[in-house]
Amino acid sequence: MSLTILRSPEEWTARFGAGRTVLSIGNFDGLHLGHQKILRTVLARARAAAQTAAAVTFDPHPMKLLRPDNAPRMIETLSQRLAGFQQIGLDAGLVLRFDRELSLLSPEDFILRILIERLHVAAILVGANFCFGHRGAGNVQMLAQFGKEHGFDVETISPVEVAGIVVSSTAVRNAVAEGRVGEAVPLLGHPFSLTGDIRAGAGRGRTILFPTLNLVPEQELLPRLGVYATEAVLRGSIFRAVTNVGTRPTFDGRGITVESHLFGFDEQISSGAMEVRFHARLRDERKFSGAEELREQIARDIVAAREYFGEHGRGSQI
C-alpha cells in the first residue's frame, strides 16, 4: 500500500474522517536508526489496534524560519523522507508547512486543534527530548497530561546507540560534513546519498581522463571535499563508482561539482536522474601538475574503490 501524503490538517480530516491515529512528530532528518525505531513502533502499535500509522513532519525545517543563520543543512530532501516513511510501511505522512502562523501556535492549541480535533490521536510516540509549539514550550510531560485528560497514550522511545554513539541527525550530519561517510552508514542503516539530475560537464573526462557523470545534487548537505568509493543508481541499475566532490583545482577550481566515474558504464548521457551513495572516503582532493598526473591518480582511486567493494561485498540494493 502506498503512503498517503497530506499537506494540512483539513486534508487529513477529509481523507481519514474520525478514524483514530497512532503517530510520531518530528523533522526526521536523515531518517536514521533512532527515527526508524520510533516509526516501526508506531506501525506495530497501529496494526495491533487497526488504526492509522502516521508521521507528522515539517517543511521547511523550523530553524529556517526561526533562526535561519543557525539552521542545519538538511541530510535528506522531503521526497527522501517521505519515501522512507513508505518503506517503513506507514499509512500516511502529514507535512505541515512551517510558517509564521504555525510557529506562533501554542503547545496547547497544537494538541487540541491538530492532534485531537483533526488527527483523532490514539497514541503519540516520541523521543524523551521532544518539544513542540511556540518557543518549544511543549514537552512530553505536557503531552502526557493532555493524554490523560483526552484519552490518548504517550510513549517515550529510548534512543539507539551504535558503538557507544547515540544516533542523532547531528551525529550523521557531522560525520558526512567531515567526510566520515563510512561512519554515517551504521547510524543511518544505509549509505548517505545525493540525488538529483545529471548535467553536461566540460567533456575533459571523456577526452583526456576518465568519463564521468556530473550530478547536480538536491541535498543541502554535501560530504567534505574529496574522493569517495560510491555506488551510482542510474536507470534502475547500480554501478560501483569513484566520485569526486570538489572544485577541480587542476583545471578551473571554481564551484563545487559532484563527478562520478561509473565502472562498466560508457554511455554518453547529459541528462536524467541519478543517485550517488557514499560508502568510504579514499583521499582528499588536491591539485595536480596536469591531466596526466591526475589521470594516474584516478586510476589508483579506481583500484582502491574496487578493493574496497571487494572486501565489503555487494553494497546497497535498489
Q: What is the pLDDT of residue 292?
A: 85
Q: Are 254 and 309 contacting, i.e. CB atoms less than 8 angstroms apart? A: no
Cα(92)–Cα(115) distance, integer angstroms: 14
So what's the pLDDT on residue 65?
94
pLDDT at res. 208: 58
Q: Are strands 226-234 and 273-283 parallel, antiparallel or unpaired?
A: antiparallel
Give the whole-angstrom CA distance, residue 252 versus residue 254: 5
Specify the pairing of strand 21-25 against strand 192-199: unpaired
Q: Using H for helix, E for strand and C for coil, what is the string for the chain?
A: CCCEEECCHHHHHHHHCCCCEEEEECCCCCCCHHHHHHHHHHHHHHHHHCCEEEEEEEECCHHHHHCHHHCCCCCCCHHHHHHHHHHHCCCEEEEEECCHHHHCCCHHHHHHHHHHCCCCEEEEEEECCCEECHHHCEEHHHHHHHHHHHCCEEEEECCCEECCEECCHHHHHHHHHCCCHHHHHHHHCCCEEEEEEEECCCCHHHHHCCCCEEEEECCCCCCCCEEEEEEEEECCEEEEEEEEEECCCCCCCCCCEEEEEECCCCCCCCCCEEEEEEEEEEECCCCCCCHHHHHHHHHHHHHHHHHHHHHHCCCCCC
- Pair 302, 210: CB distance under 8 Å: yes
Distance CA 83, CA 244 (A): 27
Per-residue pLDDT of the chain (318 residues; tens, 9 = 90+): 799 999 999 999 999 999 999 999 999 999 999 999 999 999 999 999 999 999 999 999 999 999 999 999 999 999 999 999 999 999 999 999 999 999 999 999 999 999 999 999 999 999 989 999 998 999 999 999 999 999 999 999 999 999 999 999 999 999 999 999 999 999 999 999 999 999 986 555 555 568 999 999 999 999 999 999 999 999 999 999 999 999 865 455 567 899 999 999 988 898 999 999 999 999 998 887 778 888 899 999 999 999 999 977 656 666
Nearest C-alpha neighbor of 216 from the set 198, 193, 232, 243: 198
Contact 39, 143 (CB under 8 A): no
The torsion angle over the Cα atoms of residues 113, 115, 121 and 124, rounded to 10 degrees, is: -150
Backbone angles phi, psi at 114, to 5 degrees: -105, -55
Cα torsion 82, 86, 90, 91: sign: positive
Which pLDDT does position 201 carry in this prediction?
67
Q: Among residues 259, 71, 304, 278, which one has the least CA distance to residue 176?
A: 278
Indicate whether this model's pTM tops 0.95. Answer: no
Cis-peptide into 223, omega within 30 deg: no
* Cα–Cα dist 219/242, whole Å: 19
What does residue 303 show for φ and ψ, rounded to 5 degrees?
A: -60, -45
Provide the residue count of the chain: 318
CA angle 145, 149, 150 (to 5 degrees): 115
Q: How far apart are the first and last CA of the chain?
A: 19
